[in-house]
Structure 1
Amino acid sequence: MREIDHNAALIVIDVQKGFEHPYWGRRGNPAAEENIGALIRAWRAAGRPIVLVRHDSAQPGSPLLPGTPGNEFKDVVAEAMGGAEADLFVSKTVNSAFYGTPDLAGWLRGHGVGQIVIAGIQTNMCNETTARMGGNLGFDVLYPIDAMHTFDAVGPDGEVVTAEELTRATAASLHHGRFATVLRTSDLT
């Protein structure tokens, strides 16, 4: 098990109902929500801070548009939180949670947090962007690759890159670039 700071913040990114919409296509890692729930429960039990991040899309017709059911958090978040409030709620309209409201980096630093754990949706989009920025900002980033998922994507050549391939590439990129320590949920719970 990885050593975790007593005040390491769990940042749960975009675990929203809109990601169940067929718009996104085939997803990988069907165990993502189970692992996200396990992390939230472990953080609550340890009294560590939990940050919930929601993508409030500004794109008309988006499954994540504010005021629509897709903008709401998935049930696993409320169940794992057990009625407790998050220590911080961040709303964002771009990939990085560090460009949301309120200021995530300022809040983390103000609470003496130096280590963050990222979980949620999507592995190679908002999670990866937040991890890279977190590393650049000097945070010790832990990236439990099995507590997130992504979707197949079409590359510029028209070929489909599977969710599993994207996940593997993200893990290698973050690890090789030393932006984050890539591990598994079981290393943190």
Structure 2
Amino acid sequence: MRNPAPSAGAVLLLIDLQRAIDHPSWGERNNPAAETQVGRLLAHWRSRNWPVWHVRHDSTEPGSHYRPGQAGHEFKASNVPLPDEPVIAKRTNNAFIGTGLEDRLRAAGHSTLVVAGVITNNSVEATVRMAGNLGFDTYLVADGCFTFARTDWNGTPRSADDVHAMSLANLDHEYCTVVTTDALLGNGQPQ
């Protein structure tokens, strides 16, 4: 098993943490403390001047809360990018598709990613799979992500916790190493 504490050069990559994700139409979510964990990660990275990159979904769907110009398009107050933190605009569920993310990361000399954000089984999973396939050393912060309840292909309701857990299981040890915030931060003690 790899070290659960990536090096200081690791990029904290935050995916789609925008106000749209709080719209009630999404339904029941898991991990209500995810934003708190992301805040801990941000504080840790920023206090050390480590790289923080943000991914913003720019939907082209007319009714989407993620569409530019909608209130939901804005970043959540808990994770507004600082002026020197790159913002990657995407239009698909994969932060690498059509964004230049891979080229920008490689040009900056980054090979390790620590990923948190939403939705675990959608944009997070798609981005982490691609990162792993592209050879990035990738860590997914389980308690820094969340998702929503779904009904599976044969009509069985699945809780948000079940959907989240299955997505993490799909990724762990093949595309990334799944970790917790405490593991990354040394059980909450600054490293």
Secondary structure of residue in 1 paired with 2:96? helix
TM-superposed CA distance for 1:77, in Å, is 0.6
Corresponding residue pairs, total: 183
TM-superposed CA distance for 1:36, in Å, is 0.8
Check whether the contact 1:51–1:86 (CA below 8 A) recurs between aligned residues: no
Aligned pairs for 1:72-91 (under 5 A) are 72-78=74-80, 84-91=82-89
Q: Which residue of 2 aligns with 1:138?
A: 135
Secondary structure of residue in 1 paired with 2:102? helix
TM-superposed CA distance for 1:87, in Å, is 2.7
Counterpart Cα distance in 2 of 1:111 and 1:23? 38
TM-superposed CA distance for 1:100, in Å, is 4.5
CA spacing shift, 1:155–1:86, aligned 2, 3 Å: farther
Counterpart Cα distance in 2 of 1:34 and 1:86? 22
Aligned pairs for 1:33-182 (under 5 A) are 33-78=35-80, 84-101=82-99, 103-176=100-173, 178-182=174-178
Calculate the TM-score normalised by the size of structure 1.
Answer: 0.92
What's the C-alpha RMSD, in Å, of the aligned pairs?
A: 1.4
Secondary structure of residue in 2 paired with 1:146? strand
- Name the structure where helix makes up a greater proportion of residues: 1
Counterpart Cα distance in 2 of 1:86 and 1:115? 19
Counterpart Cα distance in 1 of 2:123 and 2:71? 20
Flag as ranges the 4+ runs of structure 1 deviating above 4 A.
Answer: none
Counterpart Cα distance in 1 of 2:8 and 2:167? 27
Counterpart Cα distance in 2 of 1:100 and 1:152? 29
Counterpart Cα distance in 2 of 1:13 and 1:147? 10
Q: Which residue of 1 aligns with 2:189?
A: none
Counterpart Cα distance in 1 of 2:59 and 2:30? 23
Counterpart Cα distance in 2 of 1:98 and 1:138? 13
2:175 corresponds to which letter in structure 1? F
Q: Which residue of 2 aligns with 1:32?
A: 34
Counterpart Cα distance in 2 of 1:77 and 1:3? 22
Per-residue Cα deviation, 1:83-109 (whole angstroms, up to 9, x for no partner): x325311011111111143x1111111
Counterpart Cα distance in 1 of 2:98 and 2:23? 24
1:73 corresponds to which letter in structure 2? F
Calculate the TM-score normalised by the size of structure 2.
Answer: 0.91
